[in-house]
Structure 1
Amino acid sequence: MVHAVGKDRVAVIHPSAIVAPEARLGRGVVIGPWCSVGPNVVIEDNVELISHVVIDGHTRLGEGSRYFPFCTVGMAPQDLKYKGEPTRCEVGAGTVVREHVTIHRGTATGSGLTHVGNDVLIMANAHVAHDCWLGDRVIIVNNVVMGGHVTIEDDARVMGSAAIHQFVRIGHAALVGGVAGVEADVIPYGSVLGNRARLVGLHWIWLRRNGVQSAEIHRMRKAFFTLYPKTDEDGTFASRLDVVRREFGDDVRVREILDFIDGPSKRGLVRVARGDFSTAETEGA
């Protein structure tokens, strides 16, 4: 069935789908069998809802994004304080949301917005809770769950079945290992493993794959092991932080880590794993 939704703007809607007349649909939208689209939804050009997809609330789906069967976007948050306020949810361009993913809208007591960036991949059965903020090019692997108000910055990777505590921040290009329980903030480029998650190094593989030169990686390595030595004998964290600021603060990526550490936090930083850091060299995505 072809459904015209404005001059030169046509969407293809399966006869079994239920689309509210007030919903705004862009050019080239495809809504497959048994989908449901609410009245306050905006769907930009070339979005595809494959089948059995539910989009509700004040939700915007970015251009070219795709939604696989039985995922839901913009449903009410799992927060007992939520009283039906018109909070929002938005998903960026080119993002792919796989089967059984749930992305809930924000809350009035939070930011009021759940945001998923551009070119994100959220694999099957993952949950993005209310007021979460995911940057661009983030990858969330199967069965990942996150509490409300989680921030995951650009290019981060969260491996399968990881659980992220509410209000945790995951820094730019960080790596969270599979089945990790993350209770505190992960620095940019950090790599964490285990339950409870501990910092084991930097996401070296991502750095190499993304064109960071060996000299810069070497400086980052020295800065990391200055800040997180393998024993507790090298002064306090504050004193080591001062050394890193003084000796490595002119490096752009080290400065990004320092700025993250100095930023506001409700959870503190993930603790370092003492001993052998070699596992971090082989982890990557």
Structure 2
Amino acid sequence: MSGLTTEGASHYENLDRMSVGELLNNINKEDQTVPLAVSKAIPQLTALVGAVVERMERGGRLFYIGAGTSGRLGIVDASECPPTYGVSFDLVIGIIAGGDGAIRRAVENAEDDPDQAWKDLEAYHINENDTVVGIAASGRTPYVIGGLDEARRRGVLTGCIVCNSGSPVAKSAEFPVEIVVGPEFVTGSTRMKAGTAQKLALNMLSTSVMIRLGKVKGNKMVDMQLTNYKLVQRAVTMVMDELKVDADTAKNLLDTNGSSVRKAIEAGRKLNG
């Protein structure tokens, strides 16, 4: 795997002889380089966000495909969209090589099948309004390459998030995002800096898409699902701040408007004329 910066030798030697303090400080030093690497990819992310929004406005969905850490990160990002933005669970979908069992237990050889990703996508009746984003630190994962290639052949929009430049995955995607973080603290352990970079990029991608789709009002998650006490209290505070009302009035507005912050605020404004 020569030529992959993610597989390059660590800048640090003799990790096993370092004190705990030295380990933590050196890992932290490496981690601090990740946001800068992500910032260099913002133009690529901008293009991808715009393309995804255009498809989703036509009724399309966003799929993430990946293996190992990359696949798990896609699933995490997808699973957080419904409670945060009140969207359906089938709008943003994360798929991992090896199936859901691979979320908890590594299925290392699953990533080597170039045909499986498209089979996994077909289970969702994927169509030309949808987008597939492949996530692969190395940029060489056969599962991701095969999925992107077939999706592109079928007219499905394709993007990717990788951590090496000029990779096969990036060449398979119409909208590649390349975040080059360099060698890992533990040589080849891409769950570290590369995983952090991918998480940051996914946060930026899904958050920007949801904002552009109107799921945020001002700076507030007005469509979030009130599934626990913390979120209920957050919703009450949001309504109080927006309408300048007391807690009891805010709670009543939420109760009478289906626990929807958006609807509660709209109803409160109508009452206030």
Higher strand share: 1
Higher helix share: 2
Name the TM-score, length of structure 1 as normaliser.
Answer: 0.24
Name the TM-score, length of structure 2 as normaliser.
Answer: 0.24
Q: Answer 1 or 2: higher relative contact order, Cα 8 Å, separation at least 6.
A: 2
